[in-house]
Amino acid sequence: MKHFDQRVAVITGAAAGFGKAFADMGAQLGMKLVLADIQGEALDAVVADFNARGVQAIGLRTDVSRSEQVQALADAAMARFGRVDLLFNNAGVGAGGLVWENSEQDWDWVLGVNLHSVIHGVRIFTPLMLAAAAQDPGYEGHIVNTASMSGLLNAPAMGVYSVSKHAVVSLSETLHHDLGLVTEQVRCSVLCPYFVATGFQLSNTAPPTRSQQIAQAQSGKAVGSAKVSAAQIAQLTFDAIRDQSFYIYSHPEAMAPVQARFEAIMNRRNPGDPFAGTGVTGGRQKLIDALRG
């Protein structure tokens, strides 16, 4: 997709963080916006701000873990604008701590928002894009699924989050292959950012255990000290859409442990330190010290 003016973008998790940054970038490029978030008041404020600036934008409070609400989002987009060109399956949450200490509610919550929302988005919006492509040889569609560097690595005390993001990477790679079987007009990308200054925080659905408190504190510190902004991620993402690039990642230095992980798999070695080479000094040892201290 080379041109964005007057095209329609649907963005989940649009009231803050990456979603808001995607919306800002889309608005700058002349796009029409369909914005979704579970935080209704924050979403209303974002939509009102865009409308005040002359941007054609609508918002719909959406629990993306529920398929009927994602369907309602698609229906609203088609009713208002008659098409969808760009989809950001972006909404996300996280829970941390020792993996056996996560509750069933933690698993349901994180997988519902991080994985099932992407499943719903792919299942509901892809046929709309394929139908548009069948009717218009000039149509271009693109789907961006927000995963994480945790979809390529497995850090300790991040199990629930990592499982959800690995699944998003797998789903996205399969989507890439499946789209290639039937069309050249609809493409997709997977976004795998590392620590970015978005205010994102781990949380748990019950009073946190010691390991969950430690994971929340360390993650919050890493996000709070991040040097890369959500606006920079949005720029990287739109550049990747233009270039038809599938993998999008924000920190090239974080790819060293990804390479080491795959080399360990190929050579049947036990998993190594996922923080090695990332600039996170002593990440694993700090967790050990905190848990055993």
For 285, phi then psi, to 5°, come to: -65, -35
Catalytic option among 161, 194, 247, 249? 161
For 286, phi then psi, to 5°, come to: -65, -40
Distance CA 144, CA 188 (A): 6
**DSSP classification of residue 269:** P
Distance CA 91, CA 97 (A): 21
* Burial state string for 40-66 with b = 16 or more CB within 10 A and e = fewer than 16: eebbeebbeebeeeebbbbbbbbebbe
Query: Is 161 one of the annotated active-site residues of the chain?
Result: yes
DSSP readout, 104-168?
Answer: HHHHHHHHIIIIIHHHHHHHHHHHHHHHHHHH-TT--EEEEEE--GGGT---TTBHHHHHHHHHH
What are the catalytic residues?
161
